[in-house]
Amino acid sequence: MTIQQDLQETISFLQQFIDQVDLGLSVQSLTDNDFEALVRDDRTVLNWLAMHGHYLHEDSFHLGFRLVSELDIDGAMLGIYAASDGQLHIFLIESLVRNNRTHPLNGRLTTLVVIAATYFLALREESVGAYVVQPHQDLIQHYEQFGFEATSDANVAMYASYESLQAAQERILAELLN
């Protein structure tokens, strides 16, 4: 299967999970209109425009989250899967509802991204792990909860092996189901 087919299978799996836990969210791969909306949205902090080339890349891995009843994106992630070394490189993860405590995506975006990344990596025979590239300083401890570790003192990237992501996902699912 191609990377894009695996992305679509990952999205289907994640949507089934979201539906089972009744979050009232929809997940899809980003469309050109979604990406443009992220670039123009006043709620974004990250530089989505600078990553447009990554979005267009043939091995792009991207997700957009929104309320089922809404059209606006409430959270998104963008990465590229490098089949040559089996690594998913996550460049952007951004919640646009971080100040809305009642929104079902608030506090859950990284969890959903880890579930999606782990499932996607399981589909790819050559996969070994994932990077969060240039993580925001304030989110380093947050990412550590999901198995990511700094690759250098400069925090240029954080890395989690597939096994670390799988262990984090198992812990997340156990917490949700108990």
User: How many Å apart are CA 72 and CA 64, to the nearest integer?
Assistant: 10
Closest CA to 90 of 109, 107, 73: 109
If one counts the domains in the chain, the total is: 1
Once rounded to an integer, what is the mean pLDDT over residues 17-34?
93
CA 22 to chain centroid, in Å, comes to 19
The pLDDT, as a whole number, for residue 90 is: 96
Tokens 């040559």 found at: 84
User: How many Å apart are CA 21 and CA 29, to the nearest integer?
Assistant: 20
The pLDDT, as a whole number, for residue 85 is: 92
Exposed, middle or buried: residue 151 (CB in 10 Å: 0-12, 13-18, 19+)? middle
- Helix (H) / strand (E) element for 111: namely helix 109-123
Asked if residue 64 lies in contact with residue 39, where contact means CB atoms within 8 angstroms, the answer is: no
Report pLDDT digits (tens) over 118-176: 999 999 999 999 999 999 888 889 999 999 999 987 768 999 999 999 998 888 778 76
pTM: 0.91
What 3-state class would DSSP assign to 25? strand
The C-alpha angle 99, 39, 48, rounded to 5 degrees, equals: 90
147: domain CATH number is 3.40.630.30
User: What is the percent of the chain with per-residue pLDDT over 90, rounded to a whole number?
Assistant: 72
- Whole-number average pLDDT of the chain: 91
Q: At residue 87, does pLDDT exceed 90? A: yes
Residue 161 domain boundaries: 3-177
Q: Which two tokens stand for residue 3?
A: 């990377």
Report pLDDT digits (tens) over 137-152: 888 899 999 999 999 8
The pLDDT, as a whole number, for residue 156 is: 86
User: How many Å apart are CA 106 and CA 93, to the nearest integer?
Assistant: 13
The pLDDT, as a whole number, for residue 12 is: 97
The pLDDT, as a whole number, for residue 147 is: 92
Residue 178 pLDDT grade (very low, low, confident, very high; cuts 50, 70, 90): low
